[in-house]
Structure 1
């Protein structure tokens, strides 16, 4: 009897261990769910600002698209969570069945033991049995037999209680898992309804924007001009600093010991840099991608565009020195900060509060994001990271 109980307990232990591993996965999924929900909530808030102007805009379309992506992420995480609970319920069902069988078997054996003890109580009275011993050694062995038999009966009772307790705990756990699974299924269905509404709004906005093709093409050309001017200014800074180093007899990209230290620290904080605004949503990613409205048109972004709220403060992402503050025709003000071999670039700013040569620290406010009240209250920070003349994807550097 002891062997099957051990096997069952091993199975239950394996189930519990697996559950703990999956519990960690559930915890990770719940964290991601919370992040997606926060992003949806914040994007909705930004969209509510744009709803004051009924005119459809590219920024509104990008916000809706970002919200849909977050909603899909949320639904996907909920689905994974449901799968984990399904596995837990299946495993707990197996454990319950094994435990129930063991409890039943233990009870039957214990009942038979009690019946046999009661039936033979008069025939084998303990005292008489001991007195009938041929010698002291035999009497002692018989005494040990009775004591072990009594201990075994007590241990059987203890085992029954322990297995019954484990059975009750597993049953309660499985009921909780079933309730949580039903809650998640209901949550999935409600999220799908919201997703469908957002997709309809996206399609409606897209159709309206297609009627503004000429205006969008004009804005795209203007934006490309701003990007080119910004890139030329960055290259100019790099070339000026290279010429200065060479004129002083050094290498083109030579750094002082302090600059090297800052650059190394900057690199070591990859994926952990703070966002350049306290809260925001990335509505346009790094690199070449298709224009969201204009067919067969490719758009290149040297950084990321972050939608944020009106009056949002812009912050330095790391310690450094302001290399340049300059105005861009049609693109407001830009600030470039050097962090050793790296540059962080912040454009579409107003009310800049730093100047060339200023030393800045991580999260220090350097200005305010410009809000275009003529274009659905659009507040977009354009943020870039360069390593000398190489453009880098900011999403690989800022934390989530």
Structure 2
């Protein structure tokens, strides 16, 4: 029975979710590594300019956050490997004990068989039976005992094979864990280098407070102009509806259907650029350099490569294409009750009234070669006059 108990344990241990957890962590690790590689490429583009910029600092901040997340994932994976190793060592110990007991029992049977190896002993034992039925039962006993001895030998072989497999897997897991430990140490070294670079950039930017304050004022003007344009669109459509005797924000059946479909795709909308990293998030947050200064972002800022195409995140109708002083060109697309806003564009290829489809190109991200070659798309989502966090809508 002990052999079967060990076998059950060996079957249960791999099903504790450890294998699946490792698989999930490895997938997460690969995704984070891909983000780090892409951010590194963007940083390499900015490194071609000796000029210190807020964009470079934000990319560094993003890189540090990604690296920290990767280290955390590696640490979690190491913990799981430790659990796997402990389970494997327990399995091996139990198998070794079972194998020792099986060998001792088998040796005892062999010694007993050797003592009773004379065929005449078996024959006399059968002939001394008091009845035919008793003789038959004794014959069955000899056969079963012989089969049991054979089965015992096969079990020893099977347990030995399982034991050897477990020892091999244990060594593989120890090697995998050591690889993870070495990788974690390397990531910590890289993180320390990035933090050093971050401190350097922060110090340089701290000496440029006047320029940063001017940039912040310009950014606020751009945000205000975008809000005014969106409000103008909403009010214009409301006036048209009221002139036709309809409620102020009434939607046509087709617009309502598009809006419903848009909302149903929450968390599943594609990114407005094929590749990019978010360097400034939605809402109010502390300025990365200026103390006691908060920044409000009505959307997200996405850093991408030079020449990246901007695309509609969902089918809809172009409501506005207009220029912004200091903010290049912006495009607003209506999707029923929702609006998506794409600003800091150049070479826009759509116009007001155009119907666009999901992932259709609408323009190119503007690259500021006077500011370390940064390529930043500013992306917003509105539900009528209510600002929405784009990260709640685009696919992770």
Q: Which TM-score band (shorter chain)?
A: over 0.9
User: What's 2:3 paired with?
Assistant: 5
The range that moved more, 35-44 or 5-14, is 5-14
Q: Partners of 2:177 and 2:369 in 1: how far apart?
A: 46
Q: Partners of 1:254 and 1:386 in 2: how far apart?
A: 16
User: What's 1:45 paired with?
Assistant: 41
> Tell me, what secondary structure is at the counterpart of 1:346?
strand
Q: Partners of 2:119 and 2:143 in 1: how far apart?
A: 18
User: What's 2:352 paired with?
Assistant: 356
> Tell me, what secondary structure is at the counterpart of 1:193?
helix
User: What's 1:15 paired with?
Assistant: 13
The range that moved more, 159-168 or 373-382, is 159-168
User: What's 2:89 paired with?
Assistant: 93
Kindly state the Cα deviation for residue 246 of structure 1 after the two structures are TM-superposed: 2.0
User: What's 1:322 paired with?
Assistant: 318
Residue among 148, 169, 175 paired with 2:171: 175
Kindly state the Cα deviation for residue 14 of structure 1 after the two structures are TM-superposed: 2.2
TM-score scaled by length of structure 2: 0.97
TM-score scaled by length of structure 1: 0.97
Map 1:1-400 → 2, pairs under 5 A: 2=1, 4-18=2-16, 21-122=17-118, 125-400=121-396
Q: Partners of 2:244 and 2:226 in 1: how far apart?
A: 28
Q: Deviations over 1:101-146 (max 9, x none)?
A: 0000001001101110111122764344334434332222122111
Kindly state the Cα deviation for residue 64 of structure 1 after the two structures are TM-superposed: 0.6
Q: Deviations over 1:185-230 (max 9, x none)?
A: 0000001000000000000000000111101101110110000000
Q: Partners of 2:26 and 2:126 in 1: how far apart?
A: 67
The range that moved more, 228-237 or 164-173, is 164-173
> Tell me, what secondary structure is at the counterpart of 1:322?
strand
> Tell me, what secondary structure is at the counterpart of 1:282?
strand
The range that moved more, 117-126 or 24-33, is 117-126
Q: 1:175 to 1:265 in 2, by over 3 A?
A: same
The range that moved more, 46-55 or 276-285, is 46-55
Q: Partners of 2:27 and 2:41 in 1: how far apart?
A: 21
The range that moved more, 171-180 or 6-15, is 6-15
> Tell me, what secondary structure is at the counterpart of 1:362?
coil
Structure 2 unaligned spans of 5+? none
Q: Partners of 2:339 and 2:121 in 1: how far apart?
A: 95
Q: Partners of 1:265 and 1:26 in 2: how far apart?
A: 36
Q: Partners of 2:19 and 2:356 in 1: how far apart?
A: 43
Q: Deviations over 1:294-337 (max 9, x none)?
A: 11000000000000011000011111111111111110111111
Q: Partners of 1:79 and 1:314 in 2: how far apart?
A: 37
Structure 1 unaligned spans of 5+? none
Aligned residues: 396
> Tell me, what secondary structure is at the counterpart of 1:169?
helix
Q: 1:267 to 1:125 in 2, by over 3 A?
A: farther
Q: Partners of 2:219 and 2:253 in 1: how far apart?
A: 38
> Tell me, what secondary structure is at the counterpart of 2:117?
coil
Q: Deviations over 1:245-287 (max 9, x none)?
A: 2222222222222222211211111111111000001000000
Kindly state the Cα deviation for residue 13 of structure 1 after the two structures are TM-superposed: 2.1
> Tell me, what secondary structure is at the counterpart of 1:375?
coil
